[in-house]
């Protein structure tokens, strides 16, 4: 798998590299999210990125509906920007949680590793 592009979406943005699977990972507390870059190049099936803005505990599939869902085609990379009013950046009100599954309504991890880079303001 190649290296993900480290495109700074806005000046001062910081990134966190993550390995994505079906276990939600918390990214900062009330961050301003700019973008998530997802590398699904090692999989022969699509992967689905789930993003939640949720306080306290990790979201539960089937109980907590994601705030964003983004499909990454098999063998591809994708970037999910967070635009608000035509500007890049969305202020989360709680913890930003991210996970990847094989479908929008299933809690099954992709067969192979899915790498991600999450761009925020660092909070």
- Asked whether residue 115 is assigned to any structural domain, the reply reads yes
> Can you give the residue range of the structural domain that contains 116?
14-25+52-120
- Asked whether residue 40 is assigned to any structural domain, the reply reads no
Cα–Cα distance for residue pair 122/87, rounded to 1 Å? 18
- Asked whether residue 70 is assigned to any structural domain, the reply reads yes
- Asked whether residue 44 is assigned to any structural domain, the reply reads no
CA 54, 59, 63, 64 torsion-angle sign: positive
Residue 35, SS3? strand
Total domains in the chain come to: 1
CA 110, 113, 119, 121 torsion-angle sign: positive
List pLDDT tens digits, range 62-113.
899 999 999 999 999 998 888 866 678 888 999 999 999 999 888 999 999 9
pTM summary value: 0.88
Cα–Cα distance for residue pair 113/26, rounded to 1 Å? 18
Cα–Cα distance for residue pair 98/69, rounded to 1 Å? 10
- Asked whether residue 41 is assigned to any structural domain, the reply reads no
List pLDDT tens digits, range 14-61.
889 999 999 999 998 999 999 999 999 999 999 999 999 998 799 999
- Asked whether residue 94 is assigned to any structural domain, the reply reads yes
- Asked whether residue 34 is assigned to any structural domain, the reply reads no
């Amino acid at each position: 798998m190649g290296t993900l592009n480290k495109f700074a979406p806005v000046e001062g943005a910081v990134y966190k590299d993550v390995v994505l699977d079906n276990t939600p990972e918390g990214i900062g507390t009330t961050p301003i999210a700019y973008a998530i870059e997802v590398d699904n190049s090692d999989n022969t099936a699509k992967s689905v990125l789930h993003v939640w803005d949720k306080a306290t505990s990790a979201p539960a599939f089937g109980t907590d509906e994601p705030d964003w869902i983004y499909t990454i085609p098999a063998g591809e990379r994708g970037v999910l920007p967070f635009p608000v009013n035509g500007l890049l950046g969305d202020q989360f009100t709680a913890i930003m949680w991210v996970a990847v599954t094989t479908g929008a309504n299933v809690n099954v991890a992709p067969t192979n590793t899915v790498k991600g880079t999450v761009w925020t303001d660092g909070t």
